[in-house]
Structure 1
Amino acid sequence: MVNSTSSRSHQLQKVEINVDCGEAFGLWEGGPDEELMPLIDAANIACGGHAGDPVIMRRTVALAKRYGIKIGAHPGFPDKTGFGRRLIAMSPEQAYAEMLFQVGALKVFLDEAGVPLNHIKPHGMWYIMMQDDEELNDAAMRAISHFKVPVYGLPNTLHESGAKKYGIPFIPEAFVDVNYDSKGKLLGVPGSRKMTTDDISQATTSLGKKGLVPAVDLSLVDVGVKGKPFTICLHSDFKTCRENVAAARKAVDEVNEELYNHL
């Protein structure tokens, strides 16, 4: 178990931005990772499940190291055809082994590069299902606990309580380029409306200052980040990802200047 002192040492001191990276494989191109690196605080690198392969993983680790970006593992359902966004049934044993396998694969490249694993953040439908699937969440968190790093997740869901059960430092996360439903449950890419850069800027500012974000029906919902630093996720596979991340960066910097830069 991780003691409370260790958990406090992992807490964020300001609002940060994380982006999913390394989501290519073979000859198939992913997002514009190098263009995004100067705008982000942490990169979630695909581990060969929903995207990524050994060469891409190694290259992306080197890229993030060059820009001084914190590196997290981004394991997803082993489903490149569906980009990890389709519902897949996995037994607890499979989920446990798959998490160890994918994060362990990325960890080898991090060890080679001499940089630490900063966090773990499940991808896509795996992340969505872990909100309320107790068996899947428990198996994944049990595997994550072996790596002794924080997990990024949704506050007030099984993400947070599952992390607590296994003594895993928990970093609260929120989304601005996809939507929540009117009850504050993350919908993910399927089911979300298209977000403009203005939408993303306004959602980021609202989250940072009030802890509220417009849901898919435009009602304001509390997603559990009010009054504390958290990390905002954006997706690099969207066509407007450069503009999206730039808009979020500007808003995050303004929030941090107002609320956290005096700390």
Structure 2
Amino acid sequence: MTTTIDLNADAGESFGRWRLGDDDRLFPQVSSVNVACGWHAGDPATMRRSVELARTHDVALGAHPGFPDLAGFGRRPIGFSPQQAADACLYQLGALRAFADAQGVPVTHVKPHGAFYGLTARDGEVAAAVGEAVRAVDPDLIVVLLAGPTADAVAARGVRVAREAFADLDYRDDGTIIIEPDPAAKDPHACAEQAMAILAGEVTSTEGHAVPVRADSICLHGDRPNAVDIARAIRQRFAAEGVEVARMARVLARRG
């Protein structure tokens, strides 16, 4: 069983006066955060505040670029070509890096959001374009992709990849995740059980079959109503089982 893992959360997803998630309580529970960059959620003030929280709680800061779809929260598909995907990724990464540079906080990783993330999982050319664009900015930046063949193929190109699995999403038999348009509360203890299953190398699909998973990072969604409770349940279970939670860069370094 894996004994060191990154625990990341999608965060910084408020917009203007509308608040989504409880970042103040969520950030202390995780080792990495993926901050919305204004296309699917987030705004300049929220991005600045998210950087401040990452610095305060000493968690790794990542960009979470999405589709230009505020109304649909980036969970509706858009037909991006590989070049369009790369351009969109760099545009949003650059926005977050400006806020991070102003506070002296490094951006360590990039993780596509929602339907954009799903596109990278389905389309190897898009995933490769995103990975190579991020590497061109900084070869030390980590690209977070769904654990599986596409992530392995991008890593084989020399891109620094963190393979990700999900504690709070269901899996299909083919290893793909079922993205919820509007996440509801989930049983924290069930999510903790799934996190432990990921560490052991497999999850159970909605069809009841074992799906092999090799992950460097486990994600939970900050917009889920009880995300903080889920994070705490996972951390408590990890502590009880002797699992170390570490930033994804440290996890990758340990695994060579």
Please tell me the TM-score bracket, short chain as reference: 0.7 to 0.9
Maintained 8 Å contact 1:154/1:160: no
SS at match of 1:239: coil
Q: Which residue of 2 aligns with 1:7?
A: none
Which runs of 5 or more residues in structure 1 are unaligned? 1-11
| One-letter amino acid matched to 1:240 | N
Maintained 8 Å contact 1:178/1:193: no
Matches within 5 A, 1:175-194: 175-190=166-181
Q: Larger deviation: 246-255 or 15-24?
A: 246-255
Q: Which residue of 2 aligns with 1:17?
A: 7
| One-letter amino acid matched to 1:202 | E
Matched residues in 1 for 2:99 and 2:209: separation? Answer: 43
Q: 1:258 to 1:140 in 2, by over 3 A?
A: closer
SS at match of 1:153: strand
SS at match of 2:218: strand
Q: Larger deviation: 51-60 or 188-197?
A: 188-197
Maintained 8 Å contact 2:3/2:244: no
Q: Which residue of 2 aligns with 1:3?
A: none
Matched residues in 1 for 2:184 and 2:173: separation? Answer: 13
Q: Which residue of 2 aligns with 1:96?
A: 86
Maintained 8 Å contact 1:151/1:163: no
Q: Larger deviation: 136-145 or 193-202?
A: 193-202
Shift of 1:176: 1.2
2:239 aligned with 1:253: yes
2:39 aligned with 1:53: no
Matched residues in 1 for 2:164 and 2:193: separation? Answer: 17
Maintained 8 Å contact 2:10/2:221: yes
Q: Which residue of 1 aligns with 2:249?
A: none
Partner of residue 82 from structure 1, selected from 72, 75, 93: 72
2:118 aligned with 1:128: yes
Matched residues in 1 for 2:204 and 2:88: separation? Answer: 34
TM-score by length of 1: 0.85
Shift of 1:79: 0.6
Q: Larger deviation: 47-56 or 134-143?
A: 134-143
Structure 1 consecutive aligned stretches of length 4 or more whose deviation exceeds 6 Å: 191-194
TM-score by length of 2: 0.87
Shift of 1:259: 11
| One-letter amino acid matched to 2:207 | D
Partner of residue 204 from structure 1, selected from 195, 200, 217: 195
2:5 aligned with 1:38: no
Q: Which residue of 1 aligns with 2:224?
A: 238
| One-letter amino acid matched to 1:177 | D
Q: 1:189 to 1:256 in 2, by over 3 A?
A: farther
Q: Please give the per-residue CA displacement for 1:20-61, whole angstroms capped at 9, x wherever unaligned.
A: 110011111121001111111011111111111111101110
RMSD: 2.4
Matched residues in 2 for 1:13 and 1:75: separation? Answer: 30
Aligned length: 244
Partner of residue 162 from structure 2, selected from 168, 171, 176: 171
Q: 1:135 to 1:64 in 2, by over 3 A?
A: same
Q: Please give the per-residue CA displacement for 1:175-206, whole angstroms capped at 9, x wherever unaligned.
A: 01011102222222259997422211111112
Shift of 1:212: 1.3
Q: 1:193 to 1:53 in 2, by over 3 A?
A: closer
